[in-house]
Each structure stands twice: as C-alpha cells, then as structure tokens.
Amino acid sequence: MKHRAKTDGYFAGVDIGASYTKCVAVDDQGRIVRSAVIQTGFDFTENARKVFGEVSTGLDGKVVQTCSTGYGRKNVGFASMNRTEIACQSLGCFKEFGMEASIVDIGGQDVKIIRIDGAGKRVNFKMNRKCAAGTGAFIEEIAFKIKIPVDQLEEIAQSATGEVTLGSFCTVFTATEILSHIRGQTPLPNIVRGIYRSVAKRISEMDSFSGKVIFTGGLAKRGSVLSKMIAEETGSDVSVPEHPQITCAYGAALYAKETYLSPSKSRSETNLLGSMGSSLET
C-alpha cells in the first residue's frame, strides 16, 4: 500500500447545502484547525470560493487537497474530488463517536437518517425527498409565519408550561393550525414546543431506531428541546457532535486527507462506503 509522507499542509472539505455552505480544514492528523459557515446564495461556485477563502487565508500553510460534498458539490471547480453527503456525514460522525449509530441529519431541504455499523460502514439510509416536513425550511417557514427569529425559538420553547398538538406535517396546514392556536390565545412557548414535537414525531416515523442516535445539522444543539424530544420519540440516547452543523464538511476534509496520504486505502474505503451514497448523485 502506497503512503505519502506527512505534510505541513492542510486538507479542506466544502459542503454546499441548500441553506448554508460550510468549509472545514484539518491537519494531517484529522484535527479541525479552521472552519466557516455562510448562507448559500444563488451562485454555488462563488459561495464555495468565499467560504474556502475564509478558511484558507487563516492557515499557516497551504491546502493540498479539497473534497466537495452536499447539494452543490459539483459546482466546486477547485475541488479535486467530491463525495456524497451520505458518505461524508457518516465519516465525520464516526470519526468523532466511533460507534454504531443512526445519524439524524436535519438539513435545509431534507431529513436524512443514516445507519452506520461499529466499523463506520453505512448499512442503510432513508430520506424524505417529497416533503419539507421536519426540515430546516419547515422550521424557518413556521418561524416566519409567527414572526419569531429562528435563533430565538429554543429559548422560547424552554419556557413552555405545556405543548400543543399539531395534527399535520404539511407546512401550509401546520401554519393554519398555529394561527388558530394564536387566535385562541395559546401561550407562544407551548406552540413552539408543539412545533418541535411535530418535527421529532416526523423523524421517529421515518425509521425504526435502536441504540445510539447522533443528531446533526443547524438545528442540533446539545441539551436542546428538540434533541430531548427526538430521544423521547425514538426511545434512543441522543448525542450531538461538538460542531453539528459542519460534520459533513468535516467528513469531506477527512476524505481529502485520506485520499492524499493513503491513496490505495482510500480507494478501498470509497468502494465500501460509496455504494449506498451513490444513489443520491444529482
């Protein structure tokens, strides 16, 4: 097996999601040295250059290889390789936790549930392609309807004394239900808890769960109302990565590192890990 010598350079992962674009740089030990997150605009290529620039200009050394991932991964012209978000999310989470788990990733446009075994191999995944229910876009749309900034929802939900039951997963019908509760003078914190509960229920109905759940994405926070509800609805112990919004970009950076330092080993792992993620090519 061929190995390159260790390098003083760095390895980058760029994750272009529907709502946010993320970049992570790691050293030759796989340690995160810099990261950045920006909103995804209309120009994926320009977004990739911007977020990569924020990360690379702060490094004392050069980026020797870059891997792109996410919805816009094929728009990152300066990347020498790309991998699906399924593959990168799996690798990023396994690197941090090193155990069999179900990864629940709430993205801007979809929810993914990825199962990995004790060796980090993906054994299954599910995805809600047809409906935005439970996604970041769902939360953002509801927050817009009730005129509350998304970043304030968690604090509001924590002050609730109860919660409403929302019967619909559809954003439009849910908004109608919420407006009805507001007209009925239901306390806002109870409504927000009900919104989070509907997301947790949607996730629990997408798959069967046992063992550990790793919760990732921009909505994931340790000890949050939503993470606790996911634990309740799935009957699982829920862990949140140290940096839950960038685990996919982190996985991409690890792929860049492994491919550069151990090309033969990386090709073998890609064949093993890439079979299921390949169906998500867009």
Same domain, 238 and 181: yes
Please state the rounded mean pLDDT for residues 207-231.
92
pLDDT of 60-112, one tens digit each?
Answer: 779 999 999 998 999 999 999 999 999 999 999 999 999 999 999 998 888 99
Q: Are residues 105 and 234 in the same domain?
A: yes
Residues 158 and 251 in one domain: no
What pLDDT is stored for residue 234 in this prediction? 96
- How many structural domains is the chain composed of? 2
H/E segment holding residue 39:
strand 32-39
**Best CA proximity match to 138, nearest among 203, 190, 68, 224:** 203
Tell me the pLDDT tens digit for each residue of 117-171: 999 999 999 988 666 666 777 888 888 878 888 889 999 999 999 998 887 566 6
Across 198-204, average pLDDT: 90
Domain hosting 185: range is: 101-244
pTM strictly above 0.85: yes
Contact criterion met (CB below 8 Å) for 271 and 278? no
Based on the domain organization, do 153 and 229 belong to the same domain?
yes
Residue 91 within any structural domain of the chain: no
Provide the pLDDT for residue 268: 44
The confidence score (pLDDT) of residue 280 equals 40
**Segments in the chain forming alpha helices (H):** 44-56, 85-97, 136-145, 153-158, 171-183, 188-206, 225-234, 247-261, 263-277
- SS3 state at 157: helix
Q: What is the tens place of the pLDDT at every residue in 11-36?
A: 999 999 988 999 999 999 999 999 99
pLDDT reported for residue 272? 42
Nearest Cα to 71, choosing from 104, 41, 33, 102? 41
Q: What percentage of the chain exceeds 90 in pLDDT?
A: 60
